[in-house]
Amino acid sequence: MSKIMKLIGFILLFCCLAGVLRAQAPVNPQELPKQPVIGKNDTIKTYMTVLDGELVPWIVTREIRIVDTRIFASQADRDKFNRLRYNVLKVIPYARFAGNRYAQLQRDLAVTVDKKKQKELVKACEVQIKDLFKREIENLTISQGEILIKLINRETGNTSYEMAKELKGGLHAFMYQSVARIFGHNLKETYDPEEERDIESILQSAGYYASRN
């Protein structure tokens, strides 16, 4: 048994010595990565990496999106998509405004403990939304209104019904929902990017990524 232990110890010692000798072995200059040629104007320091035996600088670039060209089966399909694109780009600024305003309200309420001040903040948000509605949104078509309701959910993570309930209470939210139903809308509408691939594609191609992500 002792002979076996000595043999194992000898093998381990040999492995350690081999590692040390290998670490101390002279390095072949031909195995070193080729150093880049530095000119007189090369003054910017950057990280390097070895690629195929050469030192290559790291260069960070902005994201590049590669998209395919859409082919339509018919002119009717092309016209339908163009109408959708027009409607989406028309209402997305309103949804983005609602999302940003709602996020600001949540931040303000989070740092305000005074109940009276909180009510004032909610009222100010409501006034701004109503002003936007009177100036712009009330003239939207039914299709545009439906898209807007979905995009509000995309931007805020909440449905229009949930936001109305939070800001005005359950009774007002129910009344708003009842009125919306008359015009063919549903304030509880949610947005699923998988189901709304055309809308999501239009938004991302225009640079409108969900602000809550």
Taking only the tens place, the pLDDT of each residue in 77-130 is: 999 999 999 999 999 998 888 888 888 888 888 888 888 888 888 888 878 877
Instruction: Flag whether pLDDT at 19 surpasses 70.
Output: no
Name the CA dihedral angle for 101, 106, 109, 110, rounded to a multiple of 10 degrees. Answer: -150
Largest CA distance in the chain: 95
On whether residue 92 sits in a domain, the answer given is: yes
3-state secondary structure of 208: coil
On whether residue 134 sits in a domain, the answer given is: yes
pLDDT score of 16:
44
On whether residue 44 sits in a domain, the answer given is: no
Instruction: Flag whether pLDDT at 181 surpasses 90.
Output: no
On whether residue 168 sits in a domain, the answer given is: yes
Decide if 181 contacts 146 (C-beta within 8 A).
no
- The tens digit of pLDDT for each residue in 40-87 reads 766 667 777 777 777 777 777 787 777 677 888 999 999 999 999 999
Count of domains forming the chain: 1
On whether residue 185 sits in a domain, the answer given is: yes
pLDDT score of 31:
56
On whether residue 97 sits in a domain, the answer given is: yes
The residue range of the domain holding 132 is: 75-205
On whether residue 91 sits in a domain, the answer given is: yes
Instruction: Flag whether pLDDT at 157 surpasses 80.
Output: yes
pLDDT score of 36:
61
Indicate the pLDDT class of residue 10, thresholds 50, 70 and 90. Answer: very low
On whether residue 55 sits in a domain, the answer given is: no
Nearest to 89 by CA among 211, 212, 183, 204: 204
